[in-house]
Structure 1
Amino acid sequence: MDSITQAALGASVAAVVAGRHCKPKTLLVGAALGTLPDLDVFISYGDPISDTVKHRGFSHSLFVLLSFSLLLTALWSRFRLNVLSFNRLWLLIAACLLTHPLLDSFTTYGTQLFWPLDVSVAISSIFIIDPLYTLPLLVMLIASLLWQEKMAKLCGVGLLISSCYLVWSIAAYSIINQRVHDEVKNTPLVNKPIFISPTPFNTVLWRIIILDGNKYYEGFSSLLDSKKYGEYPIQWAQRERGSWPLEQTSVHVDDLKKFSNNYIQYKIIDDQLVVTDLRLGLIEYLPFRFVVAKRTSQKDWQLIPPVRIEERKVKPKHLPALWLRLLGNQDVNADLCHINECPLVTTSQS
């Protein structure tokens, strides 16, 4: 999740654990601890693909954070006087640190909760920024600063509301998942890999991807859609997924395939091979796109160090269509799924 959300979550958790001992500085400590795991973004792993797949790694490991919380508690207790007992202080620090990766695991990106074990958790029930999750935390934090005698209780209310919304996101995911399986039943797409994720800032409109060899299908389903003939039909747009054209393999691409569970697109643009993680983003706004090879002749390719492609700016014409589709208007599917190619622009190589 975004840094504001993680800071608000950390501050709220700290307030609840501190209880009657909570003070404004407790909220600051909790906010700092809540954002601490994301400092790994400042670590360079040598290339943009490695930076992508190794983010939310060791710094988001429950094993690492538990150990670090004990160390931090011991240091804090030694050099500062505290009204909290050692156990309560450790619980506060550990809770602020651990809730960060646990919340991240509900997003699409994936979180290595059990690093160094090679396991990534991505429930994909909430978008990386969702105001309906964050606002209750922020509102109650502000209220707690105004009524400091009720600081812990107010923050607890914010946590309860946001947690209920998180549970709701799982329920919404389950509803859409059932719709998709009902839709593809008795079709050639049955048993094909299916990926479902919420669209930006909500848990009402969901994006669906189904892989089918060198093609993939993209569709949208809203919880506000109306039934037609007893079902919730999904209109699909067929896309070209492409295939790997080189004889030699690429370690970087293999890492990206594993990171994305093989939801990868291969595309040739301006004699350059672009690989894209199809899970993150929507329509033509797919931010994780990398140039990994260039064509040297009609049939020959040369691997190059990965270069990340600059993200496309959202076109205003798509925003009304996205909103109308969220409200259940399926007539805008054609506009929503339209893709316009734009020139290849790469960012500076890491």
Structure 2
Amino acid sequence: MDSITQAVLGASVQAALLGRWQGRKALLYGAALGTLPDLDVVIDYGDAVANMTYHRGFSHSLFVVSAVALLLTALIRRWRPDAGYSGTRLLLTLWLVLLTHVLLDAFTSYGTQLLWPLPTPPIAWSSVFIIDPLYSVPLLLAVLVGGLFGLRGRAARWPAAALLLSSLYLGFTVAGKQMAEQRVEAAMARAGIQAERLFSTPTPFNSLLWRVILIDGAQYHEALVGWFDDAPPQFVSLPRGAALAQVLADSPQHARLQWFSGRFLRYDEEDGQLLVTDLRLGMTGYHPFRFPLAERNGSGWTLLHEAARLPAERGDLARLEVLWRRIWQQHPEVPLQAWAADLGQR
């Protein structure tokens, strides 16, 4: 999730558990600790593919954050002890601040390596968009109330109430994901589509409209599914350029992307370069992670040993308005075919 959300989540957890003793300082301590795992972004792993796929790695491991919580507890109890609360309560607080950060990240589409250093694929439950105001606003309000009025009396209940509300919202997003996948699977059976892999994720800034991707050999299908739809989802079939993947058989960057993305990749040849796109992230036609991994020369293709990430576009307000209308009305359909075609024109 975005840094602001992680900060207010950490602040809310620490305020709920230690605000009685630490007062407003609990908000500051929790916010700082809650953003700690994301400091791995300052590490340069060598190229753009490595920077993408090693982010949310060791610093988001359940094993590492548990060890960090133990270490911090030992240091604090030695140098800054507080007789008001036990070491067990302190350990639980620090552990939950770090744990909620990495678990919340796993609810997004990116991929979080919760079990590092085990060589398991990243976990992406993909039920929440990376920025979701409905999740973040209750936590932000609780932090603002705590900052203005302190953590005494009724104000002390706000962090716990906000955490409960945000957790219930996460449950709602999981239900939305199941709804979308069930409707798509029923539509697949009627259409005779036998996809190799299925991935569902919310459309930007909401959890009411879902984007579902089906990998089907040389092509992929996309569909939008909303809570208020009254008709089966309609599939749009798009070329994936899968044959170009053979060019990258010896590319370590490509192998790393396949592992990280679950093979939800698209391949395009543009201006003499072979571009690889992670289809899971962003929105149709606007995918932030695109990498040139080979370039064409007179004798064929040459692998690029240091991958660079293409400049990412954020889309435009007009398309967000189209998606907003699609939440409430299934027709007219969103022009996914045209949006996907735009990907090869930038």
Common fold, TM-score beyond 0.5? yes
Distance 2:111 2:291 in 1: 19
1:203 maps to 207
Deviations 1:56-84 (A, max 9, x none): 11000111111111111111122223233
Matches within 5 A, 1:223-302: 223-226=227-230, 232-242=231-241, 243=243, 244-246=245-247, 248-297=249-298, 300-302=300-302
> Which amino acid letter does the alignment assign opposite residue 44 of structure 1?
D
Q: Larger deviation: 112-121 or 333-342? A: 333-342
Deviations 1:18-75, CA, capped at 9 Å, x for gaps: 1522410111000111100000001111010011111111000111111111111111
CA distance in 2, matches of 1:334, 1:86: 57
What pairs up with 1:4-19 in 2 under 5 angstroms? 4-18=4-18
Aligned-residue Cα RMSD (Å) equals 1.7
Matches within 5 A, 1:57-96: 57-82=57-82, 83-96=84-97
Bigger proportion of residues as helix: 2
Q: Deviations over 1:132-180 (max 9, x none)?
A: 0000011122122333213431110110111110011011111111101
Q: Match of 1:171? A: 175
Once the two structures are TM-superposed, the CA of residue 247 in structure 1 deviates from its matched residue by 6.8
Alignment of 1:300-311 (within 5 A): 300-304=300-304, 305-311=306-312
Contact 2:236–2:337, Cα closer than 8 Å, also in 1? no
- Structure 2: unaligned runs, 5 residues or longer: none
Structure 2 vs 1, CA of residues 114 and 245 (structure 1 numbering), >3 Å: closer, same or farther?
Answer: closer
Partner-residue secondary structure (3-state), 1:159? helix
Structure 1 equivalent of residue 146 of structure 2? 144
Structure 1 306/331 Cα, relative in aligned 2: closer, same or farther at 3 Å? Answer: same
Deviation at 1:191, TM superposition (A): 4.7
Which stretch has the larger CA shift, 71-80 or 287-296?
Answer: 71-80
* 1:18–1:152 Cα contact (<8 Å) kept: no
Residue 284 of structure 2 aligns to a residue whose secondary structure is coil
Which of 123, 126, 129 is the matching residue for 2:128?
A: 126
- TM-score (structure 2 length as normaliser): 0.93
Measured at CA, do residues 313 and 133 of structure 1 come closer, stay the same or move farther in structure 2, by a change above 3 Å? Answer: closer
Aligned to 1:162: 166
Give the 3 Å change call, closer, same or farther, for CA 142–313 of structure 1 in structure 2.
closer
Q: SS at 2:35's partner residue?
A: helix
So what's the TM-score if we normalise by structure 1?
0.92
C-alpha displacement at 1:337, in angstroms? 4.7
Decide whether aligned partners of structure 1 residues 34 and 130 sit closer, same or farther in structure 2, where only a CA change above 3 A counts. same
1:327 aligns with 2:328: yes
Are 1:283 and 1:337, in contact at CA under 8 Å, matched by a contact in 2? no
The one-letter code matched in structure 2 to 1:124 is S
Cα pair 2:238 2:337 within 8 Å, conserved: no
Q: 1:324·1:332 contact (CA, 8 Å) conserved in 2?
A: no
SS of the aligned residue for 1:127 comes to coil
Q: For the structure 1 residues 184 and 15, does the alpha-carbon distance in structure 2 shift closer, same or farther, using more than 3 Å as the test?
A: same
Q: Where in structure 1 are there 5+ consecutive unaligned residues?
A: 227-231, 345-350
Is the alpha carbon distance of 1:313 and 1:139 closer, same or farther for their aligned partners in structure 2, counting shifts above 3 Å? closer
Partner secondary structure for residue 340 of structure 1? helix
Structure 2 counterpart of 1:309, which letter?
A: L
1:276 & 1:93 partners in 2: Cα distance? 37
**Could you say if the C-alpha distance between residues 177 and 337 of structure 1 is closer, same or farther in structure 2, counting changes exceeding 3 Å?**
farther
Q: Residue 180 of structure 1 aligns with which residue? A: 184
